[in-house]
Structure formats: structure tokens, C-alpha cells
Amino acid sequence: MKHLVLALASTALLGVALAPSARADEWNKKTILTVNEEIQVPNTVLPPGKYVMKLMDSQSNRHIVQIFNADETHLITTILAIPNYRLQPTGHTVFGFWETPPGQPKALRAWFYPGDNFGQEFAYPKSAAVQIAATAHQPVPTTEATQPSEMATAPVTTTPAPAETPQQETAQATPPPAPEQPAPAPQAAPAPAPTPAPQELPKTASPYPLLGFAGLLSLAVFVVIRAVRTS
């Protein structure tokens, strides 16, 4: 069993204080305590007030705890317990508490009488044990016995802490990266439009050489004709 987290009974945060006459009887371990805030014990919740806790007068079972009102005229509850051991006894009463769900009173776990290296760890009903085990993440002693006549022989089992379910992260499919678009091919520059041909040839020379050429041609024709007539 995991190490029991214990708290001194005089700690105000746990709402329990011991009277000076706490060590009243070595046989029944009678302890007078004052509760400053609600605490949970098997089968009931103790409101603020003064109470007497002691072992039931039984030779066969020394792990049955009774809780009375302050003057011991009313038995509030009877609790079945199992032995709980500690390595180093102390000179004062020590109580251990279970962690409980939010909004619920602290649950009394164990009781150690001054000078004893063994104490009482309380068995809770199944419904309460399930809640405590789920919150404390530790196994909790459990019994279904509720009557003192049953507790001398009633079995004590253990309610295990629920198995922790590993949180599964939902795998989100990552879309593949978009393929890189090829760079656009360079476009050839459009060819320049052809220059339209001029409507008229440019005048490049004077008409006088042409007139001279025509005169020479006429002279040559004249000479040829004359030569033909002469012959």
C-alpha cells in the first residue's frame, strides 16, 4: 500500500482538534476530539462538535471502532477497520484523511493512538469507496457490513483505483503540400509590324540623263536607217 499521508489531529485545516485527555484508556484507545468542520466517516458525516472515538470492547476483533457523542450517551456509528502500520510512533494522536471529490467533506482514512506503531484504517461502503478511489487514485478498503453484529466476521475487500486511460490524441491528416506550379515560359516579344511600302518611288535623280539617252538612241536609229538606204 502506498505511503499513507497523515495529518496531525490538531491541524485546524482538517477541522479536528484533540482534548487534553486524549490518552484516556490504553485498552479501548479512547480519544476525545472536537470537529471544527464537517468530516466524512464510513456511513455518516460528522458535523462540527465534540465526539468520543474508541475501540469496541471485543476480544475477537480489535479493529471495530465506535464513535459516540460527547457524553457517550448516543452511539453515532460503528466502523470496521483494518490494521495500518507506521514505522515511527509519535506521542500524539494522528489522523489520516482521503482526498475527496470537490464539494465533499474530507474522508477520515486512518487513526493512530499515541505511542502505537499500528492504527486503524477505515473500510468504506462500496459507493463511497468508488468515489474516493477515483479521486485519490489509490485502492480503498471496502466492506458491506453496517451492523456491529456483522463486523466481527465481515470480510474487508479493496476497491481499486480506476485504471488511467491514456489520452489519445486525435491524429489530424495533414494535407500534402501543393505541388509547385512551374514558372511560366517566357513569352517571345511580338515581331514589329512591317513597314508599309511607299505608294510612289522616291525621286532619286534628275530627268535630264534620260532625255539624253533617248536622243542618242534616236541618233543611232537614224544612222542605221541611212546606212540601209545607201546600200
Q: Which residues contact 13 (CB under 8 A, 6 or more apart)?
A: 7
pLDDT band of residue 217 (cuts 50, 70, 90) is confident
Question: How far is residue 110 CA from its own chain's centroid?
Answer: 31
pLDDT band of residue 36 (cuts 50, 70, 90) is very high
113/33 Cα distance (integer angstroms): 12
pLDDT tens track for 5-30: 444 333 334 445 554 444 447 889 99
144 CB neighbour count, 10 Å cutoff: 13
> Model pTM?
0.63
Sign of the CA dihedral 154, 159, 160, 163? positive
pLDDT band of residue 152 (cuts 50, 70, 90) is confident
Strands 6-8 and 39-41: unpaired
Is 50 exceeded by the pLDDT of residue 143?
Answer: yes
Q: Nine-digit cell at 136? A: 485519490
223/3 Cα distance (integer angstroms): 151
Q: Strands (DSSP E) along 14-144, which ranges?
A: 16-18, 31-35, 39-41, 44-46, 49-55, 64-69, 75-85, 94-98, 106-112, 118-122, 140-142
Is 80 exceeded by the pLDDT of residue 87?
Answer: yes
